[in-house]
């Protein structure tokens, strides 16, 4: 797969696109979109440019034109590394939003790897690893022989797990994130994995964690169905979600993350033989200075 182009490859097109972005940032969305169209006439194969045009058209209130631009992105990059499908869904032009494109999630975290820790912890007051660690210890103060840290990212959850885990394995879709995690020397094993098709052929785990992962997966039926058989009879499954304020099981938010309802989580865990031990509502981070409310969940297999 060819890499995404940050530049159009045409100097004049790039200059027009830069000026269009300046207009867009200043609130002049319609003139920005018009100028961006001129840039794309010079570089019609530039997927990132079409994506940006869609944002400008949406901001200008030209919803049909925004949809056209994002559909052009999908034609140029069917894997949808930019997440055009999600933008189409948010304006009501796409209906299959059960899961985001895996290529989008991978690209997103590859881009953020270098600044991920500082951005989350220092700027967004990210609290999920500490909250999950506390919830785990409230249920079980023992050492865990094997822990699987799903969506391990740069290892923020691993830092919390390492002191009370014998063997710690981390899995993530982003190679760049895994490289950062490797540098921390926390994990006994790291591997690249798409959680939508995740498999683990080793022994059952005493602890499985998924810190701030499920908001990038949408529907959780598949992944929970894959995780449940991996947990030892006395093991724990600890994870976080963003809390869905409205009706339904889950919903795509303007942030392009998913939120999930408590009712959905309880029903899904029970259907997969898992009993909820604790489920607490907590502020898990900030987004544009506003608190993001999440659910911190710990479950274990039903007793035989």
Domain of 34? 11-97
**Helices 63-76 and 47-59, axial angle in degrees (round to 10):** 170
Name the 3-class secondary structure at 268. Answer: helix
Total domains in the chain come to 2
Could you please report the per-residue DSSP string of 76-142?
Answer: H-TT-TT-HHHHHHHTTS----SS--HHHHHHHHHHHGGGHHIIIIIIS---HHHHHHHHHHHH--S
Q: Same domain, yes or no, for 202 and 274?
A: yes
Is residue 103 one of the residues assigned to a domain?
no
Strand partners, 299: 237, 276
* H or E stretch covering 227: helix 221-227
CATH of residue 81's domain is 1.25.40.10
Helix then strand count (H, E) for the chain reads 12, 9
Establish if 102 belongs to a structural domain: no
Is position 104 within any domain?
no
Q: What is the pLDDT of residue 1?
A: 43
Q: Which of 212, 239, 260, 265 lies closest to 135, judged by CA?
A: 239
Is the pTM higher than 0.75? The answer reads yes
Does 151 lie in the same domain as 91?
no
205-234 pLDDT tens trace? 999 999 999 999 999 999 999 999 999 999
Give CA–CA dist 72/161, Å, rounded: 44
| 164 vs 234: CA distance, rounded Å | 16
Q: Give residue 287's pLDDT.
A: 81
Q: What is the mean pLDDT of each run of 10 residues along the chain (304 residues)?
A: 68 93 95 96 94 96 96 95 94 83 91 79 82 91 93 95 96 95 96 93 95 94 96 97 93 92 97 97 87 95 81
């Amino acid at each position: 797969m060819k890499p995404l182009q940050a530049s159009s490859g045409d100097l004049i097109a790039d200059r027009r696109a830069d000026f269009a972005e300046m207009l867009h940032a200043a609130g002049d969305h319609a003139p920005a979109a018009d100028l961006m169209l001129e840039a794309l006439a010079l570089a019609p194969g530039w997927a990132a440019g079409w994506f940006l045009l869609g944002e400008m058209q949406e901001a200008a209130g030209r919803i049909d034109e925004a949809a056209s631009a994002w559909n052009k992105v999908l034609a140029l990059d069917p894997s949808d590394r930019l997440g055009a499908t999600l933008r189409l869904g948010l304006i009501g032009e796409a209906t299959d939003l059960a899961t985001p494109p895996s290529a989008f999630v991978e690209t997103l975290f590859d881009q953020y790897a270098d600044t991920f820790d500082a951005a989350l912890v220092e700027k967004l007051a990210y609290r999920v690893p500490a909250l999950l660690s506390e919830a785990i210890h409230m249920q079980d103060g023992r050492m865990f022989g094997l822990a699987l840290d799903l969506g391990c990212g740069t290892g923020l959850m691993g830092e919390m797990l390492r002191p009370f885990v014998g063997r710690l394995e981390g899995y993530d879709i982003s190679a760049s994130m895994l490289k950062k995690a490797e540098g921390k020397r926390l994990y006994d094993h790291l591997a690249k994995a798409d959680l939508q098709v995740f498999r683990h052929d080793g022994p059952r785990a005493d602890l499985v964690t998924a810190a701030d992962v499920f908001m990038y997966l949408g529907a959780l039926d598949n992944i929970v169905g894959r995780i449940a058989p991996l947990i030892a009879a006395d093991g724990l499954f600890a994870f976080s979600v963003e809390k869905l304020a409205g009706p339904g099981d889950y919903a795509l938010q303007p942030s392009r993350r998913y939120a999930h309802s408590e009712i959905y989580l309880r029903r899904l865990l029970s259907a997969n033989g898992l009993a909820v031990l604790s489920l607490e509502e907590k502020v898990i981070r900030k987004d544009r200075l506003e608190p993001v409310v999440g659910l911190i969940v710990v479950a274990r297999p039903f007793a035989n």
